[in-house]
Amino acid sequence: MLGRMMDMPLTITHLLRRAASYHAHREIVSVRPDKSRVRTTYGDLATRSARLANALTKLGVKPGDRVGTLAWNHHQHLECYYGVPAMGAIVHTLNIRLAPAEIGYIANHAGDSVIVVDQSLWPLFEKFRASVTSLQHVMVVRDKNEPLPPGTLDYDAVLAEASPDFAWPELPENTGAMICYTSGTTGNPKGALYSHRSTVLHALTASLPDVIGFAMSDVVLPVVPMFHASGWGLPYAAVLVGAKLVLPGPHLDPTSLLDLMQQEKVTVAGGVPTIWLGILALLDAEPKRWDLSSVRTMAIGGSAAPPALIDGFRVRHGLSVTHAWGMTETNPVGTVARVKPHLEADVEAAKALRATQGLALPFVETRHVDDTGRLLPWDNQAVGELEVRGPWVSASYLKDEDAHRWTADGWFKTGDVVTICAEGYVRITDRAKDVIKSGGEWISSVALENALMAHPAIAEAAVFAAAHPKWSERPVAAIVTKPGASATDDELRAHLATQFPSMYLPDAYVRLEQIPRGSTGKFLKTKLREQYGNILLG
């Protein structure tokens, strides 16, 4: 039957056109290593993205080619987020927190032909550049008063010489736009290829009031690095709606971030729990120092946020937290913890719901299965691996690696172990690899950690499995106490005993200066197991 709708593709190119047409004067604030702030606009983003596309074309970059970035959050990185996909090429964000050999493996695996490097990250780049056999050109973003390394191109100088007009191609929406690699705690990192469609649909859905909610009146601070899973899509959502963007560069310490939030009147910030733990500690110490009245919400994701963190901001500082869950393979936000209106009345229950991973975003679907792949009931009891599907969930890794991560019926196996309640809230009890199997029972390390971090003396806690001659595994807690505070093993045991049966309580407490962290700021339990995994064997 004739009569149809226009076949307009959902592309990053449209976001760029929209930014130029409607929000040309909206500001992008970039913090440089010397803490000075550079102010550009969305109009600049549009013309500089075109200049970048012209420059890359001249360097031989063709549709489908990969352009790597090794960079902090700043406007040049944002230009790569837009200019590279809009020309039909693929931007590949390299995670600077990985070991150099790993970054080299990743850049080579993706076949990056050009890499855009921050000058301040040059020492890191030098450690792996030789291993990237596909590399043809290096563009350096100047951020220090030093000459550029020989044989490199000055990013800003090259753009200044390029034409500000580029005839953006009309791309099919399934065109690849961006590659992010998983942080890969087991085996080699795997690449996820985001499409224009997945990126745009994610930005649109993340902007819904019940997800993070973005409006043109917002001032968005992606604390999360742009080399993590598209900076959670914040750089795309902000441009979609015309919000001001604040890009913090390398300054991710609590004081710098709080200064930035106050001075730029940030309304929405997003980052991993460890960032917010530091900020909460500083706010607790100096509650009057910053005026954060502009802040509408702080999005926390990347790993499960302890309820004590969410509640600490809410109760002691009147700051709202939006707790979200996602993965590199979900482009990245999959669920968000919004309390349904009819569940708000029970204050304690609502508090608990805000600390779950929450409800699937529209168009994402969740389910969980037992070891045999059997679907489990949404009864808040049955524990199993979370599986997801949706238009911004990976259907495969680059080069089809690890195909066993997908089910026969097309769902992605997340590796997160969860319960789901009748209302649909997902609650992570563990990463599959962190599950503690003790005498046939599964003990949730996450539940124990959350309870420990609610203790007034505890700053950080990570619970891991230690080998045990009788029970196979038993939980052990690594803890960091707050400055000047202390708690004995007996006190901690008594604290936990009010909430857990005795068989769930850790058999030992290891006191550390800091919990070891992985490249994305998550606690590195593999390291704890390596060091303390035999502590109970005597």
Interface residues toward its own copies, by CB under 8 A: 1-8, 10, 14, 17-18, 21-23, 25, 64, 174, 176, 179, 191-195, 197-198, 201, 204-205, 207-210, 213-217, 240-242, 331, 338, 340-342, 359-360, 362-363, 365, 389-400, 410, 412, 423-424
Distance set, CA 492 to CA 143, 328, 468, 482 (Å): 48, 35, 21, 14
- The whole-angstrom separation of Cα 220 and Cα 231 is 12
> How does 33-46 read in b/e, with b if 16+ C-beta sit within 10 Å?
beeeeeebbbebbb
Q: CB neighbours (10 Å) of residue 207?
A: 20
**Placement of tokens 């000459």 in the chain:** 147
**Minimum distance of its own copies from residue 110's CB (angstroms):** 9
Angle at CA of residue 510, ends 506 and 515, nearest 5°: 110
Structure tokens given for 407: 């089910």
Question: 303 or 328: whose CB is closer to its own copies?
Answer: 328
Q: To the nearest whole angstrom, how small is the minimum distance from the Cβ of residue 219 to its own copies?
A: 9
Strand partners, 180: 192
Shortest spacing between CB 62 and its own copies, in angstroms: 13
Residue that the structure tokens 């124990």 belong to: 448
Residue whose structure tokens are 């044989």: 151
d(CA 275, CA 299): 11
Catalytic residues: 182, 329, 437, 442
Q: 394 vs 481, which CB is nearer to its own copies?
A: 394
Cα–chain center distance at 537: 37
**Which of 206, 453 has the CB closer to its own copies?**
206
* CB 138, min distance to its own copies, A: 22
Work out the angle at residue 157's Cα, subtended by the Cα atoms of residues 154 and 159, and round it to the nearest 5 degrees. 105
Shortest Å distance, C-beta 65 to its own copies: 10
Is residue 396 within 8 Å of 407, Cβ to Cβ? no
Cβ of residue 383: shortest distance to its own copies, in angstroms?
A: 20
Min dist CB 341 to its own copies, Å, is 5
* 204 versus 536: smaller Cβ distance to its own copies: 204
Q: What are phi and psi of 323, to 5 degrees?
A: -95, 120
Burial class (CB in 10 A: 0-12, 13-18, 19+), 288: exposed
Residue among 331 and 519 whose Cβ is closer to its own copies: 331
Q: Which is nearer to its own copies, 98 or 398 (CB)?
A: 398
Reference 328, options 419, 385, 398, 268; nearest CA is: 398
Contact present, 9 and 170 (Cβ < 8 Å):
yes
Q: What is the DSSP letter of 503?
A: G
Considering the complex, state which of residue 209 and residue 484 has its C-beta at the smaller distance from its own copies: 209
Residue placing its CB nearer to its own copies in the complex, 7 or 490: 7
Query: Which residues share a beta bridge with 461?
Result: 479
Q: How far is the CB of 180 from its own copies (least distance, A)?
A: 11
Give 517: exposed, middle or buried? Use CB within 10 Å, 0-12, 13-18, 19+: middle
The distance of closest approach from Cβ of residue 22 to its own copies in the complex, given in angstroms and rounded to an integer, is: 5
Give 93-119 as a DSSP string.
Answer: E--TTS-HHHHHHHHHHHTEEEEEEEG
Nearer to its own copies, 210 or 259 (CB): 210
Residues 313, 322 contacting (CB under 8 angstroms): no
User: What is the SS3 string spanning 399-443?
Assistant: HHCCHHHECCCCCEEEEEEEEECCCCCEEEEEEHHHCEEECCEEE
Looking up tokens 């090259």 gives 158
DSSP one-letter code for 192 = E
Using CA atoms, how far residue 516 sits from 428, 462, 467, in Å, is: 21, 10, 20
Cβ closer to its own copies: 119 or 394? 394
Nearest approach in angstroms of CB 305 to its own copies is 22
